[in-house]
Amino acid sequence: MAEFEREPVPESARLGFRSFLGQYAGEHVAGTELMIGPLFLASGVSAFDLVVGLLVGNLLAVLSWTLLTAPIATRARLTLYYQLERICGRHLVTLYNLANGIMFCFLAGAMITVSATAIGVWLDLPMPGLGDTMPGSAGWVMAVVAVGAVISIVAARGYRVVARFAAVAAPWMIIVFLAFGIVGLSQLGVTEVGDIWETAKTTIWTGGDPLPGQVKYTLWHVLFFAWFCNMAMHVGMSDLSVLRFARKSWYGVATGAGMYIGHFLAWLSASVLYAVQLQTDPTNTSVLPGPMAWHACGLAGLICVVVAGWTTANPTIYRAGLAFQAIVPSISRVKVTLFTGALATTAGVFPAVAMKLLGFVALYGLVLMPMGAIVFVDFWLLKRLGMRDEFAYRAGLKFHWPAALAWVLTVAVCLVASSQASVDLIFLGLPGWFVAALLYIVFSRIRQAEQATSLTPSPEGSL
């Protein structure tokens, strides 16, 4: 299929609603869901806070895709990278690619960690605990390296084969995640559907103190996490590259399939498995998807853990490779993907990323979010405010400092606010978006005033 990397997607290449439904449902039932669900429980969240927080937060995420990302995607029909290049200049996009690629590597590392926990069950390896940041044994390191090597080589050599395998595996994984929850509830002593909510409140998500080393989660934490765990994709505008193929902008609601299957059903099911583990042995606080899945669904559960990690690490490593390759285009995609896989595997060896996944996901979104605010302002507001959009493209710039400064300052302000005021990063995405938008408007006003007289329209014109 043509990628239309530097041109709008033509009418003939646009896709129907069902394509997006399937893609989003599959993409958000990932290996990392098996970590996030248990980490909620470890954070001492109550049943009401978790369920209501997820319902509302996921709805806000779907609305963000539908009302922020999709309208721009279906009007401009450009990839995020090309749209950013026109706004910010090629050199700034290179920096963005570097940040994006590094974040993808850490995310893929967490997925490799998840898959390695299934290998650990087979080989009876000592595995990391909830508070561990360093690898605890040579066996664990070898398991992660073996899984990472296989995933990396396959991503480099046969990305599309794995993508097709992932399409086949997705419906089955959704069913196995559901089975995790059903069997887990049974293991907690639930025998009737009517008893589920009572057990949820009194046995599973009882509220109270978090486990040692974890941050206490309230309804607001859950709501903002559900909303912003994919912040880079919706308000950060990464999914412009996906939704530009949509015939209508309302197709953004297809993300609801991913949110309510992956980020509701799968998280709750994985959380139930962790509750079973804690009920069986309260001292075993390790969040290890392999052993939890094995106890609930046997070999089918273990296969699900490996497949969930593998099929989602595959495109993540591939995307990171593409981001790095954009920086050094002379190196082959195979070499870049192998290098990227090695980075991800190194990250996966250290359990810190997976065990602190809630915090990492918040940081990942925050770092990439300002560029989404810049795209939004450039597309909708600059012309209304009497300024020129796509300034780098029109002025022939390779580095547009208003965008760079707005990006860096926003991230810095959020990080300082988080450390000084002890505010969880997940809450700073929303104010951060407005900070980035405001800074970009102010800096653009200053920059465009300097060049107002000499600026000439690009021969290619505006899109």
Partner 1 sequence: MKETILTFAAVSGLLGTLVAAALVFAGQVSLGVAKTSMLVATVVWFVAAPFWLLRGDEGQAN
Binding stretches for partner 1 (CB under 8 A): 158-161, 164, 167-169, 171-172, 175-176, 178-179, 182-183, 185-187, 190-191, 297-301, 303
**Least distance CB 381 / partner 1 (angstroms):** 41
- Cα 71 to Cα 32, 65, 67, distances in angstroms: 29, 9, 6
Q: Report the residue number, 75 or 295, with the smaller CB distance to partner 1.
A: 295
Q: If DSSP states are collapsed to H, E and C, what string results for the chain?
A: CCCCCCCCCCHHHCECHHHHHHHHHHHCCCCCHHHHHHHHHHCCCEHHHHHHHHHHHHHHHHHHHHHHHHHHHHHHCCCHHHHHHHHHCHHHHHHHHHHHHHHHHHHHHHHHHHHHHHHHHHHCCCCCCCCCCCCCCHHHHHHHHHHHHHHHHHHHHHHHHHHHHHHHHHHHHHHHHHHHHHHHHHHCCCCCHHHHHHHHHHHHCECCCCCCCCCCCCHHHHHHHHHHCCCCCCCCCCCHHHHCCECCHHHHHHHHHHHHHHHHHHHHHHHHHHHHHHHHCCCCCCCCHHHHHHHHHHHHHHHHHHHHHHHHHHHHHHHHHHHHHHHCCCCCHHHHHHHHHHHHHHHHHCCHHHHCHHHHHHHHHHHHHHHHHHHHHHHHHCCCCCCCCCHHHHHCCCCCHHHHHHHHHHHHHHHHHHHHHCCCHHHCHHHHHHHHHHHHHHHHHHHHHHHCCCCCCCCCCCC
Q: Report the residue number, 23 or 410, with the smaller CB distance to partner 1.
A: 23
Q: Report the residue number, 153 or 178, with the smaller CB distance to partner 1.
A: 178
**Least distance CB 160 / partner 1 (angstroms):** 5
Q: Report the residue number, 163 or 455, with the smaller CB distance to partner 1.
A: 163
* Nearest alpha-carbon partner for 242 in 458, 27, 455, 460: 27
**Least distance CB 283 / partner 1 (angstroms):** 23
**Least distance CB 260 / partner 1 (angstroms):** 18
**Least distance CB 299 / partner 1 (angstroms):** 5
Please name every residue paired with 46 in a beta bridge, in sequence order, or none if there are none: 206
Token pair for 302: 């273990």
Q: Report the residue number, 224 or 294, with the smaller CB distance to partner 1.
A: 294
**Least distance CB 65 / partner 1 (angstroms):** 25
Q: Report the residue number, 159 or 399, with the smaller CB distance to partner 1.
A: 159
**Least distance CB 298 / partner 1 (angstroms):** 3
Q: Report the residue number, 142 or 163, with the smaller CB distance to partner 1.
A: 163
**Least distance CB 302 / partner 1 (angstroms):** 10
Q: Report the residue number, 97 or 271, with the smaller CB distance to partner 1.
A: 271
Q: Report the residue number, 29 or 185, with the smaller CB distance to partner 1.
A: 185
Token pair for 382: 């600059």
CA–CA separation, 438 and 406 (whole Å)? 8
**Least distance CB 38 / partner 1 (angstroms):** 19
Q: Report the residue number, 197 or 434, with the smaller CB distance to partner 1.
A: 197
**Least distance CB 191 / partner 1 (angstroms):** 6
Q: Report the residue number, 126 or 298, with the smaller CB distance to partner 1.
A: 298
Q: How many CB atoms within 10 Å of residue 1?
A: 6
**Least distance CB 307 / partner 1 (angstroms):** 9
State in Å, rounded, how far the first CA of the chain is from the last one: 23
CA–CA separation, 387 and 378 (whole Å)? 9
**Least distance CB 34 / partner 1 (angstroms):** 17
Q: Report the residue number, 16 or 158, with the smaller CB distance to partner 1.
A: 158
Angle at Cα 108 formed by Cα 105 and Cα 111, nearest 5°? 155
